[in-house]
Amino acid sequence: MGTVYLTGAGPGDIELLTLKAHRVISQADCIIYDRLAKKEILDMAKDGCEFIYVGKEDNKHTLPQEQINQVLYEQSKKHDIVVRLKGGDPFVFGRGGEEAIFLKEKGVKYEVIPGITSAISVPAYAGIPVTQRGVSASFRVVTGHEAKKDKSQVNWESFKNNETIVFLMGYHRLEYITSKLKEIGKAPNTPIAIISNGTRSNQKVVIGDLTNIVQKAQGLPTPAMIIVGEVVKLRDKIKWFDEE
């Protein structure tokens, strides 16, 4: 039985791939990859590597997570090196923890290779630091898309304090997110940035506030993330990768 490497591919710019991720990708016998894994990264694989696509899009999953877990197990019985390639970091809303638990229960050896999460790298490429002395001393990363449950795990009341909030996978719920932030008392002029295709050559950044961002950000391609907080105002001084 082989080893499964739960591997983060980073946010999109292939130069942000880690050296360790590059090594195992180039050695892999099988790569099981998501929709955010760029072709240039897959091209790093050796001849004869088997590729299995298990990508998930809005309302369209190639395989449910339970079947993806089973694919990892089956491939580990066939190959020495199996790479489970995920956009960003496996443990930041990547369901890598679920896969690790499943593999552990099956007796499969695995390693976790962290990736540079989009939660910090995408704002950086947009010229928005998630923390800044005198502006924001903390930040939190929140899912914008929860699994269907009777009760949300997001504690909206805790967002009243002045810190940076990064919503991942929340673009299609932008109207709901902004309404909840207004509901808990966030000021209407609270700055918000939407960053589409962050760190990629087609990155686009839209700036607004709670009153107008839904209208201003219509029609953006995904993946797109939401940044809320005063640090958004620093983009005008720091932006370096793109122009609005």
In the sheet where 109-113 sits, what is the strand order? 50-53, 30-33, 81-86, 3-8, 109-113
Cβ pair 131, 138 in contact under 8 A = yes
Cβ pair 54, 34 in contact under 8 A = yes
Catalytic positions are: 34, 56, 169
Instruction: Name which of 155, 213, 208 is nearest 184 in CA terms.
Output: 155
Tokens of 41: 């990264």
The single-letter code of the amino acid at 104 is K
Residues 168 and 86: their CA atoms lie apart, in Å, by 15
Question: In a 3-state reduction of DSSP, which class is residue 164?
Answer: strand
* Beta bridge mates, 228: 165, 192
- Count of helix runs (H) and strand runs (E) in the chain: 8, 12
Within 10 angstroms of residue 201's Cβ, the number of other Cβ atoms is: 9
The helix or strand, by DSSP H or E, that contains position 125, with its residue range, turns out to be helix 118-125
Question: Is residue 226 classed exposed, middle or buried when 0-12, 13-18 and 19+ CB atoms within 10 A define those classes?
Answer: buried
